Amino acid sequence: MHFYIRTLSYLITIFSVLLFTCGELPSDPATDPNNVIATITISDGASGIVQDKLVTIQLVVRYPDLTEKILVSLNNVSDTTLYCNASTSATFDTLFMSRAFKDTGHVVIRADVGLTNGAIKVFYDTITVQPKSLTVTFDTVPQAHCVATGEPDTLVFVASTDPSGGNITCTAAGMISE
């Protein structure tokens, strides 16, 4: 019996020490707006970001229910305001927006995340927009076309550009010689 009382006394002492020395237990990170994180990526940019080609900007927000709104800016020009619509139990929400960039060079994407406590957290990403390259493909070219040496002739074909290209004018003049 004396053994049980001593053991019980030790357990009560250890429990009391733990209770008073641990102090306040840490809060749930999903309830603290300071734990909100936003990651900015280009979801279809693996092949490169090309001028005038549509790309998708993806924002992944951790603890979306702790956000009020997200203001997205491109090169310090306000562009879009986004709102997280995830349920309150969601840990992440992914937001998408599509843009085509007219200018080449570096583009700074900035996301100002407005939090439920009134604070704003800022997240950045920088991308590089490459100039579009014009390409021409010949859809039809005559296979058997004979021309007389030293005489003018006409070669007719159909050419098209890729969707990112502009208008292309094809002209050719000259004489075929031996």
Residue type, 83: Y
Helix (H, G, I), strand (E, B) or coil at 100: strand
**Considering all CA atoms of the chain, what is the largest pairwise distance in Å, rounded to the nearest integer?**
123
Nearest to 58 by CA among 92, 104, 33, 105: 92
pLDDT in tens, the chain (178 residues): 666 677 777 767 776 666 666 656 667 888 899 999 999 999 876 678 999 889 999 999 999 999 999 999 999 888 888 888 877 778 999 999 999 999 999 999 999 999 999 999 999 999 999 998 766 666 565 566 666 677 776 666 666 665 555 555 555 555 544 4
Location of structure tokens 């001593």: 6
Contact indicator for 94, 59 with CB cutoff of 8 Å: yes
- Give all domains of the chain, ordered by start, each with its CATH number: 34-130 (2.60.40.10), 133-178 (no CATH)
Contact indicator for 100, 55 with CB cutoff of 8 Å: yes
